[in-house]
């Protein structure tokens, strides 16, 4: 396992699979790879999913999830860990226990995936409570959107002041960094609020008028994980990850009839043009 002084870009992603390729493990692998990292996976659920919605969810056995984690940690090692869809409280407990035993000092990026872009629920209320109590404490970065931040903190998140209050509450719950995203908050300018133990950063970008937003949360969190795994600070990683995602949304391929995927490979497309 590498140390902070010797980052190798290895990211272990613990999340669900998206058969449509726009979100979940598939988006995670694409984002980590495109930003120079090396992605490993522990798949927590199989979903039948496309741009129109989630049409089925099949949880992976808890011992299988744990074995995937342990196998990667024992041999390849890891520089950051990114968690996504953890569908049950029992699974959250297994993941938290395994990380505590085998990767206690490794920075964790927690994307508290609760609802798909289509509006379909992906976790139950017991899992949400377990994520708040077991995954947030000690996390290097937690990346909720506004609705997720409201559920986790009980704070109204309908503007920058609400985002700030929610970020503060997440730090009080033990997270070392909290990025409360503003994509669900109306306005021409999209504002994300990052707070860490050392300060606050406000990131702004022009909102893109598009339906190609499937997997944006997964993509941003995994982009942050890839950059942190290569030695960047949390604020620098968030800034660079946002720029990567913004361009991926701008160059989205327009696939599907609903919320389409972003162009994770836009850097390659730019090189070819």
**254 tagged catalytic:** no
- Does the CA dihedral 231-111-20-42 come out positive or negative? positive
Q: Which of 16, 22, 24, 215 is catalytic?
A: 215
CA 57 to chain centre: 19
**267 tagged catalytic:** no
Q: Which of 37, 162, 217, 260 is catalytic?
A: 217
**181 tagged catalytic:** yes
Would you state the structure tokens that stand for residue 158, as one six-digit string?
């309908």
**216 tagged catalytic:** yes
Contact 164, 193 (CB under 8 A): yes
Q: Rounded to whole angstroms, how far apart are CA atoms 7 and 264? A: 23
**217 tagged catalytic:** yes
Would you state the structure tokens that stand for residue 102, as one six-digit string?
């085998």
H helix or E strand, kind and range, residue 136 = none
**Which DSSP state fits 135?**
I
Q: Which of 83, 162, 181, 219 is catalytic?
A: 181
H helix or E strand, kind and range, residue 224 = helix 216-229
Q: Which of 41, 47, 83, 216 is catalytic?
A: 216
Q: Rounded to whole angstroms, how far apart are CA atoms 12 and 110? A: 12
**72 tagged catalytic:** no
**Which DSSP state fits 121?**
B
Q: Which of 213, 219, 224, 260 is catalytic?
A: 213
Q: Which of 24, 87, 218, 219 is catalytic?
A: 218
Give the active site residues: 181, 213, 215-218
């Amino acid at each position: 396992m590498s140390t902070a002084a010797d980052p190798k870009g290895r990211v272990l992603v613990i999340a669900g699979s998206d058969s449509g390729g726009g979100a979940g493990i598939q988006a995670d692998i694409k984002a980590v790879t495109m930003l120079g990292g090396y992605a490993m996976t522990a798949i927590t659920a199989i979903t039948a999913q496309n741009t129109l919605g989630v049409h089925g969810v099949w949880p992976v056995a808890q011992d299988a999830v744990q074995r995937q984690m342990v196998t990667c940690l024992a041999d390849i090692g890891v520089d950051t860990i990114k968690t996504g869809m953890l569908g049950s409280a029992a699974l959250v407990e297994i993941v938290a226990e395994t990380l505590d035993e085998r990767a206690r000092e490794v920075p964790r990026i927690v994307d508290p995936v609760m609802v798909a872009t289509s509006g379909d629920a992906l976790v139950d209320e017991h899992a949400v409570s377990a994520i708040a109590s077991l995954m947030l404490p000690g996390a290097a970065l937690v990346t909720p959107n506004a609705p997720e931040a409201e559920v986790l903190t009980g704070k109204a998140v309908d503007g920058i002041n609400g985002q700030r209050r929610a970020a503060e509450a997440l730090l009080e719950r033990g997270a070392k960094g909290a990025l409360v995203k503003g994509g669900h908050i109306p306005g021409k300018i999209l504002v994300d609020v990052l707070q860490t133990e050392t300060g606050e950063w406000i990131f702004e970008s022009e909102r893109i008028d598009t339906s190609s937003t499937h997997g944006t949360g997964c993509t941003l969190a995994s982009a942050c994980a890839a950059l942190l795994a290569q030695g960047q600070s949390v604020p620098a990683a968030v800034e660079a990850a946002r720029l990567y995602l913004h361009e991926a949304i701008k160059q989205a391929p327009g696939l599907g009839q609903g919320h389409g995927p972003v162009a994770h490979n836009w850097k390659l497309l730019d090189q070819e043009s």
